Amino acid sequence: MAAEPRSLTRRRAFVVASAIAFVIMAVRVPGGPLAAAAGCDPEYDPRVSTPEEVIPRYPHREATTDEIYRYFEVVDSESDRVENGVYGTSWLGRPLIYSLVTDEDQLPNVAAIAADQQRLRDPRRTTPEEAARIAAENPAIAWYAANVHGGEESGGDASLQILYELAARIDCEAEEMLRELVVGIIPTQNPDGRDLNTRQNAYGFDMNRDWFARTQPEIDAEMDLLREYPPVVFVDAHENNGTSFFFPPNADPVHHEISEKNIDWIYHMYGPALAAEFQQRGWRYYNHDGYDFFAMEYGDTVPTTVFMSAGMTFEKGNNDTAYDRWLEQWVAGWTTLETAAENREDILREYYDAYVTALEEGEAGELEPNRTYQPGQELDQQVPNLAIRHYFLPPETSRAHPETATLVERLLDTDVEVYRLERNLSVPDLQFYGRTPSAGTVPAGSFWIPMAQPQKHWIQALLGEDPYISVFGSYDVTSWSNPLLLNLDASFSGAQLDPAAKRVLEPPEGTVAGDPGSATYFWFPGDSGRAVAAALLLERSGGGS
C-alpha cells in the first residue's frame, strides 16, 4: 500500500485478511517505494509484465501513446482481472482506450455492478432497504483519467503503474482493494495531443473546457463511458508549472450546487489521506490555491455534478524530472483508490443519500446556499432566496430550433428527464431570463424540465440564469448559463404545477417543409448558430449561389 490506513474517525478501516495463494509468487520491487501494511507486504504475480519490461527506460522518460497502448494490451492478455475497451475515436482516428480492473470473480459481472450503482442514483426506484443492501454488497466504481492536456504526460505514465499494481499484486491489501472496487483507468484522454506535445487536441481545442458542451469527440465519448460506469470518485491528472503538487481542497469559489456529500468526501476524506501520504514522504504539496471548484466546464466539476462523484484535479509541477512526476502522480492515484476502497460502504450509502437530498430539494424548489471553504475567505454573495421548480425551453416551432435541440440533447445525454408540454400551461410566476416574474403562458410543444428529479444539481448548474459566485474572482469563466449562451427564450418558475406532458427520449430533429427537389430557394432563420453551416452545405451541394 502507499501508506498506513487513514485514521479518519468517520470511516472504516480495511479488513485485513490472511490468504494462501497456490500460485508461483515473487516479491518485486515496484517502480516506486511502497509502505507495507502490517503483515501484508506487497507481493507480485510474476506472470504479469512490469511496465519496465515492456517500455524501455520507464519510468525515467515519458512513454509514447503507442507504448502505453501496447502495455495495456499486454496486461489485458496476462491478467484475468483486467478488461480493456475502446470508448471512442480521436480526431486523428486514434482509439480511445480504457481498462476496467477488479477481482477476477467480479470482472464478468461489471455490467451488473454498474447497474446496481445506477440504481443508487434514483431514490424514486430504489428503496432505502435496497440501497443499504447495495452499499453493503456492491463494489464501488472509481476512475483515474489522465492527460486531457496532451503535453501533461505524467498522469498517463502513472496510470501504467496503477494498472500493474492492480493486475499483479497478490497480497492481502491489493486483493481487498479489488474486491471493494471496480477501477476504471483512462491512460490518455488526448492521444493526439500527447503525440503532438500540445495542450489541445488535434482540433486545437482545450478539452478541459468542453465537459458540458461536449463538442469534441474525445470528451463526448468519455462522458458516455462514465454514464455506463458511473464514478464515485474521478481523478483528472494534470501538470502545471513548478515542482510542487496540487490536490484538493480547492480554492474558493465552489459552485453552490455541488453536493455537501461530495465536498465532505473530497475535503475531509481524500484530501487528508493525500496530505498524510505526502507528509510521510516529505513531498511538497498545496491546497486551497489557484484551482477553484466553480465553472461547469472541467473534468472535476462536471463529473462531480453529473454523477455525484468526488471529482478531483491533480496538478504536478512539470519542472521536476520525469521520474519524480511519475512517482508523485502514481502515489496520489493509488492513495485515492486505497481511500475509496477503505470507505466503500460509507461512500455508497452516502451516494444514495445525496440523491435523496437532491430529489427533496428539487421538489421544494430549493437551491443550495453559497459557502466558503478556504481558510480566511469571506462570502461575497449569497444565493438569493427564490424557489425554482421548473425550467421551460421554447418549442420546435421557435426561431431557435437548432439551439433548443442542442440543449435538449445535452440534458438527455446527462440523464436529465425532459418532457414536451401537450397543452398550453398557465404559470403564475413565469420568469424569462433577465426579466421579472409575471403571469404568463408556456405554449404547447415547449420543453419542460422539472427540478424534482435526481439530476437537480446538474439542471440548476447548467440552466441557472446566474451561478451566484460566492467570492468575486475565479480561475476561469464566471457564467455559462446554457439558455443564455444559446440565445433561447427560456423561462423558469417556482410554482407548484402539474403539466400535461410527455417524456422526451430523443432530441428533436429538424425537417424540411415542401419538396426539396423542386425548391427554387430555402428559407431558414439566420440568427441560429447552425445557419451558417446550413448555408455552406447548400452552397457546396449546388443548392445556392
Average pLDDT over residues 458-469: 98
Predicted local distance difference test score (pLDDT) of residue 537: 80
The last residue of a domain, from among 357, 379, 402: 357
Predicted local distance difference test score (pLDDT) of residue 539: 79
Distance (Å, rounded) from C-alpha 347 to C-alpha 501?
36
Average pLDDT over residues 20-36: 37
- Given a contact cutoff of 8 angstroms between Cβ atoms, the answer to whether 322 and 157 are in contact is yes
Label residue 3 by pLDDT band (50, 70, 90).
very low
Predicted local distance difference test score (pLDDT) of residue 155: 99
Residues 262 and 233 both lie in one domain? yes
- Report pLDDT digits (tens) over 230-255: 999 999 999 999 999 999 999 999 99
Average pLDDT over residues 479-502: 97
Predicted local distance difference test score (pLDDT) of residue 34: 53
Residues 419 and 534 both lie in one domain? no
Residues 399 and 456 both lie in one domain? yes
In a domain, 42, yes or no: no
Distance (Å, rounded) from C-alpha 287 to C-alpha 70?
35
| Structure-model confidence comparison of residues 12 and 182, the more confident one | 182
In terms of C-beta density within 10 A (0-12 exposed, 13-18 middle, 19 or more buried), how is residue 91 classed?
middle
What range defines the domain where residue 525 resides?
515-545
Predicted local distance difference test score (pLDDT) of residue 51: 99
Residues 6+ apart with CB under 8 A from 124: 359, 454
Residues 528 and 463 both lie in one domain? no
Average pLDDT over residues 518-529: 73
Distance (Å, rounded) from C-alpha 352 to C-alpha 130?
10
Average pLDDT over residues 108-137: 99
In a domain, 385, yes or no: no
Distance (Å, rounded) from C-alpha 200 to C-alpha 219?
12
In a domain, 382, yes or no: no
Distance (Å, rounded) from C-alpha 15 to C-alpha 498?
50
Predicted local distance difference test score (pLDDT) of residue 38: 53
Predicted local distance difference test score (pLDDT) of residue 11: 37
In a domain, 527, yes or no: yes
Average pLDDT over residues 275-281: 98
pLDDT of 491 higher than 60: yes
Residues 59 and 144 both lie in one domain? yes
pLDDT of 260 higher than 50: yes
Distance (Å, rounded) from C-alpha 69 to C-alpha 76?
11
The CATH number linked to 316 is 3.40.630.10
pLDDT of 31 higher than 90: no
In a domain, 23, yes or no: no
In a domain, 365, yes or no: no
Label residue 26 by pLDDT band (50, 70, 90).
very low
Residues 75 and 129 both lie in one domain? yes
pLDDT of 9 higher than 50: no
In a domain, 249, yes or no: yes
Residues 519 and 444 both lie in one domain? no
- pLDDT averaged over every residue in the chain: 91
Chain position carrying cell 410543444? 445
pTM of the predicted model as reported, rounded to 2 decimal places: 0.91
Residues 94 and 119 both lie in one domain? yes
Residues 162 and 291 both lie in one domain? yes
Predicted local distance difference test score (pLDDT) of residue 37: 55
Predicted local distance difference test score (pLDDT) of residue 14: 32
Question: Which one, of 271, 276, 277, lies nearest residue 313 by Cα?
Answer: 271
Residues 402 and 453 both lie in one domain? yes
The last residue of a domain, from among 342, 357, 372: 357
Question: Which one, of 163, 167, 208, lies nearest residue 303 by Cα?
Answer: 208
- Report pLDDT digits (tens) over 43-64: 999 999 999 999 999 999 999 9
Residues 343 and 438 both lie in one domain? no
Residues 94 and 220 both lie in one domain? yes
In a domain, 5, yes or no: no
Q: For the chain, how many structural domains are there in total? A: 3
